[in-house]
A and B are shown apart, each in its own frame.
Chain A
Amino acid sequence: MSRRTVKPKPQAAEFTTVVVLRLYVAGGAPNSMQAIANLEAICAEYLKDGHKLEVVDVLENPRRAMAEGVLVTPSLSKLSPQPVAQVIGNLSDKRQVMLALGLKPHGG
């Protein structure tokens, strides 16, 4: 079997790697709009330029959502760095989003 290696823990303070995010929304529906706003606020505070965010409107692109295994919207996927993570809902729970993104809150 494969050998287990211990991955070095990413440091929250330095963002040498770019975080790639994809947010699936349903047009301008209330929770979707809220998810975009919440995510943008978190990105602006913690990720600055070290992220790439793609917003996918499933109303325009249902096939793509299906190809990528999305079940409900809004839902956020972190594609890179590994491991991939998913947050479902309007992202109002900041702690949960940051956990999924592998971030530590300021001073915490």
Chain B
Amino acid sequence: MAGDDALPEIRPLSGSVRLRRALQELPRDGAEQRAIEAGEIDAVIDYRGANVIMFPMARRALRAAASRASAARRKAALETPLANAVLAALPRDEYLHLLPALEFVTLEFGTVLHEAGAPIPYVYFPLDCVVCLLTTTDPERMVETGMVGYEGIVGVSLGLGVDVASVRAVVQTAGSAMRMSAARFGRDFRRSPCLQHELYRCASAKLAQARQTAACIASHHFEQRLACWLLMASDRSRSEDLFLTHEYLATILNVRRVSVTMACTSLRSRELITYVRGTIRILDRAGLEAVSCACYRSVGFPRAVA
């Protein structure tokens, strides 16, 4: 009876050797053996290998649960009303056609979606993340020239027949997005007039935004620009809290850190914003709009360009 006969039936799956070995280490005729025979055990602790070995049944159940959870998350992300304005604007059947090619992804702060001068691998439809577009001026120096949130698409140039990025796209606010491979996007884009229309609208908005940014940098005070920038970032992340450091702002707006701190202090003294390290909170949106330059009203708000 001792040896293999005393062990419960285990199908020869990978890992079953280790499971068998761990089971042999268990005390004979203990409560453990009785529970195993009754099928009430999920896993054995393998003291020799210092890990946990699952029973095949339990392992399968965990895998099935994990895949159900990811399917549910995906489904929840796909339910209408859609978080991304471009996808939401497509007719239902067009959207359902795109759906199998869309992949739900979670993006961390600082993730580079595409590099300047490199091919664009994916087109991103942000759901609740914000992506900033950085243009290289000198080597090692990048300035923000665009910001994309739920209102737009990252990788617009693919639709304009250019598959190499002119800017670097970096995630500024972590969140989720739907993405589609560049090749698949190209095929669907040629086929769908609605998608073309939406993309041209986005491209035109981006162009207007870039023009306005250039004009703004040339003609407005930094404090006005900062107020405008904070409002734009807040609109796109749909939150009054922005998780940014002064250093980050100084880098992407290409000013000295001291200038950022001075402008922030000035805005805080008027109770328009408040900040602690790493977080800026907008307290008075209307007040901040009054301080910001006219650029915010002309191209800043996502729906203003719709």
Contacts and interface: CB of A to CB of B under 8 A. Distances in A.
Contacts of B214: none
Given A72-B35, A89-B35, A28 B40 contact: no
Interface string A68-104: 0011111000000000001111101000000000000
A30 B64 CA distance: 11
Interface residues of A, number: 25
Given A31-B58, A58-B52, A72-B26, A89 B45 contact: no
B278 to A, nearest CB: 28
B28 to A, nearest CB: 13
Contacts of B45: 58, 62, 65-66, 70-73
Interface in B273-305: none
A58 B44 CA distance: 10
Contacts, number: 82
Interface string B21-46: 00000110001101110111111110
Secondary structure type dominating chain B contacts: mixed
A66 B38 CA distance: 24
A71 B26 contact: yes
Interface of A: 25-32, 58-59, 62-63, 65-66, 70-74, 86-90, 92
Interface of B: 26-27, 31-32, 34-36, 38-45, 47, 50-52, 54, 57-59, 61-62, 65
